[in-house]
Chain A
Amino acid sequence: MDVILFLIFAAIAVVCGFNVVVQSHPISSAISLIGVMGSLAVLYLLLGAEFLAAAQVIVYAGAIMVLFVFVIMLLNAGTEIRQGRSLLAQVLGIPLLFTFLGLMAYFAKNMFPGVPDAHFGGFTHGTALDVGRALFTQYLLPFEVVSVLILIAILGAVVLAQKEME
């Protein structure tokens, strides 16, 4: 059951990820990216990260991608015109990317030889209680720093979006 769910949602993630890179209109890429995030949220649930799965959908798919979709709609970005593609980059680049991918996959497979498989329910400390406890005791300083970071991001976005002074 776990294997079937993993295979279905991993396949959806890879197909949507491929779509993000290949589609010519940015809105199709954005919707494919939302598909990737949704299937990753299911995979997080399979790995016992229930709070992170909810945060992924609420923050990533429900807020960040909404921002992307808004900007694409506001700018009315048309389809991309392919120009200036160097043949050398494509002939050399894509096989090298696959080599890189193969190397990473090989290392991933051989890094932990004796590790048991992942079951749904094998890790039960991913609840909001555990994440909250760790966040507010052990990782309190990064938490506060990150809140200042968000404040700076808000100020930056507001300043950049202001109308220019006449």
Chain B
Amino acid sequence: MNFFLLSLIKAVVVAFVLLTTLAYLQWVERKVIAHIQVRMGPSRVGPHGLLQPLADVIKLITKEDLIPPYVNKVLYLAAPFFAITMALLSISVIPFGAEIHIFGDSTWMQLTDLNIGILFVLAVSSVSVYGIALAGWASNNEYSLMGGLRSSAQMISYELPLSMAVAAPLLLVNSLSLRHIVEQQAGYYLGFIPRWSIFQTPMPQVFSFIIFLIAAFAETNRVPFDLPEAENELVAGFHTEYSSMKFAAFFMAEYSNMITVCAITTTLFLGGWLPLWPASAGSNFVPAIIFLLAGAIALYHGLNPVRRRDGFTLPVVAVVFFLVAAVFLVPLLRGALLPLFWFAAKTGGLLFVFIWVRGTLPRFRYDQLMAFAWKFMFPLAVLNLLVTGLMVAAFS
């Protein structure tokens, strides 16, 4: 097929999947935090609150779109647009799976593979600071300006440990292309330990993983580093003066950044779309088994419902899960779906960690946050890079 047509189709599919995931990530977050806090979460709009994101979108679109008269109009309108553009741009280099063959064409499950893929991601995250800084400035409001400056300073401070933590596994895989990075993590030690970056000799990248994850929390302005935009600090920070869809754009940008950062962590450290143990030992049936178990649990609870409505919705959920398990057993689709499942499972696990931390930890004060970056994280990241370099030089 024509290269441009194929790329267009891939881009449309990825954009659609990403935007749906964004909306339902918010649902998952609200439900998980609610259950951590021993309450129900959204449960009224649709079964188990599944239509809540739709209700939120309708609410945000129909809210009054007020542009205050004292703002700098050009920058005020450009800032959320810029933020969401940069947030969605970095998805384009992430490898979701292996090569697939459809209708005689073979293509990779990745929008584009750049030679400098990981540098592209770092570049886009460097430039996305401007969306927030300009939003704070354009609002012509002391509190927004301070919130914007604090958030931008936090983001550029944590870019340093982030970049150093990215450089360490690159010493092991010797490539900047994200596809090569995943391919270098194929294979197994002793037949069952996967050769992911966090397990690789000569230096397992466990510290890089932890440093990267902590720096990623700060880069995406998530708890415990979300002081600049928390609702009870600084009158909601840099997005005080924004309403309706522009406000929604900032939140979409934040969740999209979260998904991107988890996807990059998966690619760099957890082996991307590679399975946990070899296919010869039966890892091809893992998704089918998981969905069968989930369907069985839903069916069990559906037959003894706590609420009367669950007697109807939970068996429907069980049937859906059984259908998905059946799809994973079809040999024709297995080549495309299995890598996608492993990638989604690992990224989803990391997203759950993000949400779990939000429900559990208190937030840092701003000076503690900056001191943590410059006096602890950055020296630790440099030390990690040094030790990795020494081990690679000594053992190869």
Contact = CB atoms under 8 A, between A and B. Distances in A.
B127 A69 contact: no
A51 B149 contact: no
Contacts of A69: 130, 133-134, 137
A128 interface: yes
A165 to B, nearest CB: 21
A54 interface: yes
A69 B130 CA distance: 9
Interface residues of B, number: 23
B165 to A, nearest CB: 15
Which has the most chain B C-beta neighbours within 10 Å: A55, A57, A66?
Answer: A66
B115 A57 contact: no
Contacts of A46: none
Given A54-B116, A127-B115, A128-B116, A70 B153 contact: yes
A140 to B, nearest CB: 16
Contacts of A62: 123, 126-127, 129
B133 A70 contact: yes
A27 B119 CA distance: 27
B207 interface: no
Contacts of A20: none
A62 B122 CA distance: 10
A34 B122 CA distance: 17
B133 A57 contact: no
B137 to A, nearest CB: 5
Contacts, number: 59
A27 B123 contact: no
Contact of A66 (B75, B123, B133, B137): B133
B372 to A, nearest CB: 19
B123 A70 contact: no
Contact of B116 (A27, A50, A63, A73): A50
Given A63-B156, A73-B145, A74-B149, A54 B123 contact: yes
A128 B176 contact: yes
A66 B131 CA distance: 11
B120 interface: yes
B124 to A, nearest CB: 8
A58 interface: yes
B255 to A, nearest CB: 22
Nearest to B128: A62
Contact of B127 (A57, A74, A127): A57
Contacts of A50: 114-116
Contacts of A74: 149
A73 B150 CA distance: 12
Nearest to B118: A54
Interface in B107-122: 114-116, 119-120, 122
Interface string A71-97: 001100000000000000000000000
B126 A57 contact: yes
A37 to B, nearest CB: 10
A69 B138 CA distance: 12
Interface in A37-63: 50-51, 53-55, 57-58, 61-63
8 contacts: A31-B134, A50-B114, A51-B116, A54-B116, A57-B126, A61-B127, A62-B126, A70-B133
Interface of B: 75, 114-116, 119-120, 122-123, 126-127, 129-130, 133-134, 136-137, 145, 148-149, 152-153, 156, 176
Q: What 4 A-B pairs are tightest by C-beta distance, nearest first?
A: A62-B126, A54-B119, A57-B123, A58-B123
Given A27-B137, A128-B176, 19 more contacts: A31-B134, A50-B114, A50-B115, A50-B116, A51-B116, A54-B123, A57-B123, A58-B126, A62-B123, A62-B127, A66-B126, A69-B130, A69-B134, A69-B137, A70-B152, A73-B145, A73-B148, A73-B149, A128-B115
